[in-house]
Amino acid sequence: MAKKIYAVNGSPRENGNTARILNSFLEGAASAGAETEIIHLGRYQFSGCRSCFACKLKGGKSYGKCAVEDAVTGILSELSQADGIVMGSPIYFGAESGIYRNFLERLFFPYLKYSNPPSSIAPRKLEMSFVYTMNVPADVMDMYGYRDYLEKSHKFPQMVFGSSEVDVLYVNDTYQFDDYSRYESGLFDAEHKKSMRDTLFVQDCSKAFEMGRKMALRA
């Protein structure tokens, strides 16, 4: 039976940089025999964790699963049977998009058991990767601590899902506008951005492809 690997797009754009990187990841997974699917969070109306703790209530009907009923309830159920998930988000003001973070809370928290030491009640092991796209170049990302902030989330896949390894791809210096002259964008060199789109971004798509292939082989 083929492994099932999902990509979760935390960008409001379905054809933007994040989606393109995620689709390259899924192409790599498919090349290794996996079935793939992309989920665009921008299509759904949903909330983050409401801190109701129903997922932690002993004997409760929602123990080990999110009790909130909304547009992503079925998606969370579907992902509980996945073999691998790649999460992708654009970076806004040094952090993930709001819809991405809301979904991450809903995905991780119900399975995290408040035991001593903490443990997991996830129904199965799965592999997990992360990709982030951002306008800033790599040196600015590191200067302002983006990487340090984002890496705090990368420990949870191993804790919650028993992931054997967690691959991360930072996609920097992305191309934002089809025509920079139409927008207030004097901070940027449009020719440089086009160059990065045609060189660095292409390389990052190749890296994402290889990450997807590796995940399918690990799963």
Residue pair 131/88 in contact (Cβ under 8 Å)? The answer is yes
Q: What phi-psi label fits residue 132: left (phi over 0), alpha (psi between -120 and 50 degrees) or beta?
A: beta
Q: Which domains are seen in the chain, by residue range?
A: 4-218 (3.40.50.360)
When the pLDDT of each residue in the chain is averaged and rounded to a whole number, the result is 96
* Residue 112 CA to its chain's centroid (Å): 19
The pLDDT value given to residue 1: 82
Low-confidence ranges of the chain (pLDDT < 50): none
Torsion of CA 37, 41, 43, 48, to 10 degrees: 140
The pLDDT value given to residue 163: 95
The pLDDT value given to residue 142: 96
The pLDDT value given to residue 195: 96
pTM, whole model, 2 decimals? 0.96
Q: Which helix (H) or strand (E) holds 210?
A: helix 200-218
